[in-house]
Amino acid sequence: MKNIVIVFLLLFFASAVPAVVVSPQANCPDKFIGKVASIIPPAVDSPFAVNKIIFTKIKTISGRVDDRVFVDILKNGFEDFIVGETYTISLREGVLCFIEPVSH
């Protein structure tokens, strides 16, 4: 029973963390502005299912960024991504650190 309670608490607190902030931005050397080119939905829907968001790089701000970047983001996170929208994205070794919409 004790193990079940611990697992429940871990899942509860893990679900309270926003899906689009994974690690501190200060340690993320690759930063760019990119447009959502396409969204690949998960094969199986679950609470931890991820969409693969494909970004087309518009401008490199820092680091090394490919022309197309693939980022896994929780499907049920608080940000709904839309093809054609533009974002500022920070990565560390291909893992998302921070993302925010670019205001027009």
**DSSP string covering 41-95, please?**
--SS--TT-EEEEEEEEEEEEES---SEEEEEEETTSS----TT-EEEEEEETTE
pLDDT of residue 15: 45
pLDDT of residue 94: 87
pLDDT of residue 60: 96
Contact 81, 22 (CB under 8 A): no
pLDDT of residue 62: 94
Q: How far is CA 21 from the centre of its chain?
A: 7
pLDDT of residue 4: 53
Q: For the chain, which residues score pLDDT lower than 50? A: 5, 7-10, 12-25
pLDDT of residue 103: 80
* pTM, 2 dp: 0.71
Pairing, β 86-92 against β 68-74: unpaired
CATH number for the domain formed by residue range(s) 2-101: 2.40.50
Per domain, the residue ranges of the chain are 2-101
